[in-house]
Amino acid sequence: MLIATDARGHRMRRPSKPAIGRMLANLGRGNEHMVVERQDADVVGDWYIQVLLRDNNTYQLEYRDGVAAKHYQTQTVSQEKVLRALLGWAAGTSEWREDFMWNDISSMFEPPSTEGTAAITA
């Protein structure tokens, strides 16, 4: 099941295409981001796409495919491209990724290394 949530806490189960479009169009001060996530009892992991409207009016778009090792980010000024990405992700297609150059940001979500701490504490 899909669930869409915005920064104000407005949560919608099974959002329609128009509802996702309205949530995106309503991003602004005090409501800077939204998340569309896929929740299924049979699927393990975090599956979502999220958008942040930055102060410079660019959109930061991120998606995660189940695990932290598959977390990607991009930026664009195009609300239309962001909407296509949100709707494509929600529909389960893969073409929506092609409109962007994605940066792998999975290293930002790796647990801190414990290597070297034994020597410090010994």
Of 86, 83, 79, 73, the C-alpha closest to 38 is 86
Q: First vs last Cα of the chain: how many Å apart? A: 49
Angle CA(80)–CA(88)–CA(19) in degrees, nearest 5?
A: 65
pTM above 0.75? Answer: yes
Encoding tokens for residue 69?
Answer: 């090792």
Which segments within 14-88 are labelled E, that is strand?
A: 33-38, 46-53, 59-66, 71-76
Q: Is 54 left (phi over 0), alpha (psi -120 to 50) or beta?
A: beta
- pLDDT, one tens digit per residue, over 5-52 is 999 999 999 999 999 999 999 999 999 999 999 988 777 788 999 999
Task: Give the percent of the chain with pLDDT over 90.
Answer: 70
- pLDDT, one tens digit per residue, over 79-120 is 999 999 999 999 999 899 999 999 998 888 766 555 555 444
For residue 71, give the amino acid letter.
H
Encoding tokens for residue 111?
Answer: 């647990």
Give the 3-state secondary structure of residue 8.
Answer: coil
